[in-house]
Amino acid sequence: MVGGRLGKVKDMNAPQLIPNWVDGIECETHDGRSFAKVNPADGSVLFSVARSQKTDMNFAVESARNSLPDWAAVPPVKRGLMLHDIVMHMIERKDEIAEVVHKETGKSMKDALGETGGAIECGLFYASEGQRLYGRTTTSSVANKYASTIRQPVGIAGLIIAANTPIANVAWKVFPALVCGNTAILKAAEDTPATAWMFGEIAHEAGLQAGVLNIMQGYGEEAGAPLVEHPDVGVISFTGSTEVGRLIQQKAGERLAKVSLELGGKNPLVVCDDADLDNAVKQVLLSAFSNAGQRCASGSRIIVFESIYDQFTKKLVERTNKLKVGIDDGHDLGPVINEQQLQNMLQAVKKAESDGARVLIGGKRFSGKGYKSGFYMAPTLIDNVKPKDEISRCELFGPIACLYKAKSYTQALKMANDSRYGLTACIHTKDFDRANHFIQHVQAGTVVVNAGTYGSEPHMPFGGLKQSGNSTREPGTEALDIYSELKNVYINVSSSVD
């Protein structure tokens, strides 16, 4: 157990060792092992983090198993009210949550506050779903027989998340899992441990019963994999890369566990010849570079009509050149999450260049004055690449976008769909028929007209086609189908009453 918590980290309400939350108690791992979490803004060590292993995950599953009967027996409306209390505590501590998000990710306080607001909105939505866990009542072919469905919890939910929007990612999974009556084990992203830990503290403070939500720190292979493989975990919900998602699907498939996968994207944004070019430029900048491009829904393939290509590209490069990189509210984007990710991006750009690509702007790391040893990737635009090139096909999860020329709408749509991913897509046009055709025919789980590739709201279903997922949708009411089992109920009565 963590005794004195070793004091708090400077400027941040987080302990120097980020512990697990198991059975309502903060604890270290069974062997006391930990790893260092590095500050993306300057490369310094922020704090250390419990490095959970299979043994620790087994404790967490045991805790979730023990608390399941009581939590599942709480009426859904009351479960919703409990979640509402958690949300109220989040509202009270909004600045503190945002501060932790800001410190762990290097995104500005303004962006961290926006993200926290989104997580709160998500919590409010699911808290109210406690009053609406609808089943279906219908007719029967037999007299005096009544057919209906009710929702029941799956059991223990294993939740595994990415680091890009840490508090939103926690909310997206924890709230729907709990309102449906499951108990949960959340495996935090190794790059954003403190946000998940703080959510655990808030849930505890708000009075959530011990063991209903267990929050575990650690690496994917060491802590995530044992959760996926545990025979008692009935549903796994995963947000992360396609490569890891595939592994999880295979592992969970062996025991036929329910799996929901929210995976990567290489999302197209089409700029037609009739688009409002200033709006298109603004939306491309946001889609490609906000959150340092670390969004599954970021726009990384910008497909522009040939007739406006030069004019559009010139404007876009000029505006990109004015973007400010840093961690303050006046900055447009911050660092990427870790050194490894940054190196992957630099290598991908180098490889593309050697294949004949043209770097229009960026392509390098920012370091030195103001940047220290932080993980700052310059906002990067690349053209002269072919749709078959590696840089056109692989998700980089950073502030890098490629530009492509299309001769016509038909060719643009074909290029947009030429991807193993199918998460989001966007078109900029004033032509309603063109927009509608795109809505109908683009292969994506989310389609946007005249804005960015990202920005899905918590009450709406998000998810991807092809290798962007396994066809499930979260959040929205659709997530309730992931976290509950439908029971088909037949009631037969006697017609003779006296």
Q: Which residues are catalytic?
A: 262, 296
Q: Which is nearer to ligand NAD, 80 or 268 (CB)?
A: 268
Q: Which is nearer to ligand NAD, 240 or 374 (CB)?
A: 240
Instruction: Verify binding: residue 164, ligand NAD, rule CB under 6 A.
Output: yes
Give the residue nearest to ligand NAD (CB).
220
Query: Which residues lie closer than 8 Å to 175 by C-beta, 6 or more apart?
Result: 83, 122, 123, 125, 126, 127, 475
Q: Which is nearer to ligand NAD, 9 or 196 (CB)?
A: 196
Instruction: Verify binding: residue 160, ligand NAD, rule CB under 6 A.
Output: yes
Residue of 35, 219, 309, 366 that binds ligand NAD (CB under 6 A):
219
Q: Which is nearer to ligand NAD, 90 or 444 (CB)?
A: 444
Q: How far is the CB of 343 from ligand NAD (least distance, A)?
A: 13
Q: How far is the CB of 192 from ligand NAD (least distance, A)?
A: 9
Looking at residues 311 to 350 of the shown chain, list those that interact with ligand NAD (rule: CB under 6 A).
none
Q: Which is nearer to ligand NAD, 419 or 429 (CB)?
A: 419
Instruction: Verify binding: residue 52, ligand NAD, rule CB under 6 A.
Output: no
Looking at residues 395 to 454 of the shown chain, list those that interact with ligand NAD (rule: CB under 6 A).
395, 397, 423
Query: Which residues lie closer than 8 Å to 414 by C-beta, 6 or more apart?
Result: none
Q: Long-range contacts of range 31-38, CB-CB < 8 Å, 24 or more positions apart?
A: 31/55, 35/190, 35/219, 37/104, 37/190, 37/191, 37/193, 37/194, 38/338, 38/339
Instruction: Verify binding: residue 300, ligand NAD, rule CB under 6 A.
Output: no
Q: How far is the CB of 82 from ligand NAD (least distance, A)?
A: 26
Residue of 17, 170, 228, 402 that binds ligand NAD (CB under 6 A):
228
Q: Is there a cis peptide before residue 475, judged by omega within 30 degrees of 0?
A: yes
- The stretch near ligand NAD (CB under 6 A) out of 103-111, 244-252, 283-291, 368-376 is 244-252
Residue of 118, 224, 268, 326 that binds ligand NAD (CB under 6 A):
224
Instruction: Verify binding: residue 177, ligand NAD, rule CB under 6 A.
Output: no
Residue of 166, 181, 220, 379 that binds ligand NAD (CB under 6 A):
220
Instruction: Verify binding: residue 263, ligand NAD, rule CB under 6 A.
Output: yes
Instruction: Verify binding: residue 190, ligand NAD, rule CB under 6 A.
Output: yes
Instruction: Verify binding: residue 264, ligand NAD, rule CB under 6 A.
Output: yes
- Do residues 444 and 425 touch, judged by C-beta distance below 8 A? yes
Q: Which is nearer to ligand NAD, 49 or 225 (CB)?
A: 225
Residue of 148, 152, 209, 241 that binds ligand NAD (CB under 6 A):
241
Q: Which is nearer to ligand NAD, 237 or 484 (CB)?
A: 237
Instruction: Verify binding: residue 70, ligand NAD, rule CB under 6 A.
Output: no
**Binding residue count for ligand NAD, defined by CB under 6 A:** 29
Instruction: Verify binding: residue 265, ligand NAD, rule CB under 6 A.
Output: yes
Instruction: Verify binding: residue 192, ligand NAD, rule CB under 6 A.
Output: no
Residue of 247, 317, 361, 435 that binds ligand NAD (CB under 6 A):
247
Binding positions for ligand NAD, rule: CB under 6 A: 160-164, 187, 189-190, 219-221, 224-225, 228, 239-241, 244, 247-248, 262-265, 296, 395, 397, 423, 464
